Amino acid sequence: MALVETSLVGRVATVTINRPEAMNAFNSELLECLLAEMQQIGRGTEVGAVVLTGVGKSFGAGADIAQMKDYTPAQGRAFSELGQRVTRTIEQLPQPVVAAVNGFALGGGCEMAMACDIRLCSDNARFGQLEINLGIMPGWGGTQRLARICGPSFANELLYTGRMADAQEALRWGLVTAVYPREELLPKAQETAGTIAAKSLAALRNIKLAATRYLEQDIDGGLRLEADLFGLCFSTEDQKEGMSAFLSKRDPEFKHR
């Protein structure tokens, strides 16, 4: 059985983490599979948006502790770097990624969700960076993204105490944008992704690049990048089609180039 399963409906790819016997805990093999799948999606134009979710009651229960237990410092660093490659690939994917958090998103699972552009969750979802309880720290971006998304006060409390936050608390702090009954979550995430996928992929790619870079540089640098990318939009067929359709009062037919 594949550790990562992908289905394509229209222009929406649903990528499912499939290690239910371990609550979708991430070992090296699963990380490599997820990395390869995301890289493959990013190389093409047939996918306009991605939904990332998990099988069963867990989105991702963290890194595989049984695998990590006897790591040397060098092995620990290598495992951190592998997880960071996955989260950065998700974050830098040309296509927007919607996380459908269907239960536990703990440790590395929370870090995977935070690398996505939009996070939706079920009403039984639980979030947390529990690494402090194991005598370690987050290694796949938790110390960097949680404060950027939720602010330092809430982030520091979760990082230092190792407690879990429920779906409503995650919603209050902006970690997710909506909470749904469990049975409605995946259809809602796919609906959101479908709305996004109908847009110009060329424009989406530039928007995502500019929005992501905002967090990594000062506002003046971000504004310069935005202006550069805005100008590049006018080199695309989608820009010409989109504006022509608007002026003609018809729906655009984007070719994603």
- pTM of the predicted protein model: 0.89
Chain-centroid distance of CA 178 in Å reads 15
Regarding whether 118 and 233 lie in a shared domain, the answer is no
* 60 in a structural domain: yes
Regarding whether 126 and 174 lie in a shared domain, the answer is yes
Contacts of 19 by beta carbon, 8 Å cutoff, 6+ apart: 3, 25, 27, 30, 55
Considering 5, 81, 91, 131, which one is annotated as catalytic? Answer: 131
Q: Active site includes 131?
A: yes
* 256 in a structural domain: no
Regarding whether 133 and 53 lie in a shared domain, the answer is yes
Q: Which residues pair with 97 in a beta bridge?
A: 50
Q: Active site includes 111?
A: yes
In this prediction, residue 157 carries a pLDDT of 97
* 257 in a structural domain: no
3-state helix, strand, coil in the chain (%, to 5): 55, 15, 30
In this prediction, residue 218 carries a pLDDT of 66
Spatial distance between the Cα atoms of 221 and 219, rounded to a whole number of angstroms: 5
Spatial distance between the Cα atoms of 121 and 100, rounded to a whole number of angstroms: 6
CATH code where residue 89 lies: 3.90.226.10
In this prediction, residue 101 carries a pLDDT of 98
Q: Which residues pair with 164 in a beta bridge?
A: none
How are beta strands 58-60 and 12-17 bridged, if at all?
unpaired
Q: Give backbone dihedrals phi and psi of 165, rounded to 5 degrees, phi first.
A: -110, 140
Chain-centroid distance of CA 104 in Å reads 15
Higher pLDDT, residue 171 or 213:
171
Considering 111, 191, 216, 237, which one is annotated as catalytic? Answer: 111
At which residue do the structure tokens 């049975």 appear? 183
Spatial distance between the Cα atoms of 182 and 97, rounded to a whole number of angstroms: 19
Q: 226 is in which domain, residue-wise?
A: 201-248
Regarding whether 185 and 225 lie in a shared domain, the answer is no
Looking at the 3D structure of the chain, how many domains does it have? 2
| Residue range 209-247, pLDDT digits in tens | 888 876 676 666 766 766 787 778 788 888 888 889 888
| Residue range 79-123, pLDDT digits in tens | 999 999 999 999 999 999 999 999 999 999 999 999 999 999 999
